[in-house]
Amino acid sequence: MLLQTIQRSWWVLALYGAISILFGISAVVSPLGTALALAWAFGVMALAEGVTSLVALFDKNTPISKGWLAIYSLASIAFGLAAVIFPGAVAGVLILFLATWLVVGGVYRIVLAVRVRKQIEGEWWIALSGVLSIALGLMFFASPAAGLASLTVWIGAFVLLYGIFQIMAALRIRKLGAALPVR
């Protein structure tokens, strides 16, 4: 029964796979354009969420505090407008946040490795991961556009593989479903 239900919607997996493959190719071929498109798409989603939340402010049955809902809706609208109007700036700021997180995380790992060096063996792996994290963060700071492009290419490559796996799974489910007796 479950297999029959899944088999009837094999095409959904195939569609997700095809969309993923198209996105992956786009990200690998035009990483900066894809990053800008993603920032713009996130902006549109944030705008929609902000407007929906703003409308919910006038609903008497809203289970959330009106104050928090107002703050959330205004923040969503502000981010959405910024991302739609200035997608490059938003993508650039996000890569700088990532760079900051990488540097801070790297320092943390090095400090952790020093502190646990007497309790565990191989603490140098922790320190090495910290050094690599700092190096990547500094590279993103030095060239945010290159960092954004390389990150988008990596995401694209993984999404491309995901799409291929989705289509393979869809075809396998379709084949298994075709072997089932018709009820």
Q: Would you state the pLDDT for residue 181?
A: 63
How far apart are alpha carbons 160 and 172 in whole angstroms? 19
pTM of this prediction exceeds 0.85: no
Angstrom distances, CA of residue 133 to CA of 24, 25, 75, 105, 148: 25, 27, 30, 7, 16
Separation CA 82–CA 41 (nearest Å): 12
Task: Answer yes or no: is 168 within a domain.
Answer: yes
165 within domain boundaries: yes
Per-residue confidence band for 5, with pLDDT thresholds at 50, 70 and 90? confident
Query: What is the DSSP code (8-state) at residue 58?
Result: T
| Percent residues over pLDDT 90 in the chain | 77
111-139 burial: b if 16+ Cβ within 10 Å, else e: eebeeeeeeeeebeebbebbeebbebbee
**What is the C-alpha R_g of the chain?**
23
User: Using CA atoms, how far apart are residues 167 and 12, in angstroms rounded to an integer?
Assistant: 9
Look at the chain and report how many structural domains it folds into.
Answer: 1
Answer yes or no: is 6 within a domain.
no
- Give a yes or no: residue 8 inside a domain: no
* Domain range enclosing 103: 13-178
Lowest mean pLDDT among 20-24, 31-35, 82-86, 118-122: 118-122
Question: Is 4 inside a domain boundary?
Answer: no
62 close to 10: Cβ distance less than 8 angstroms: no
Q: Specify if 2 maps to a domain.
A: no
Identify the sign of the CA torsion 48, 53, 59, 64.
positive
Output the pLDDT for position 127: 94
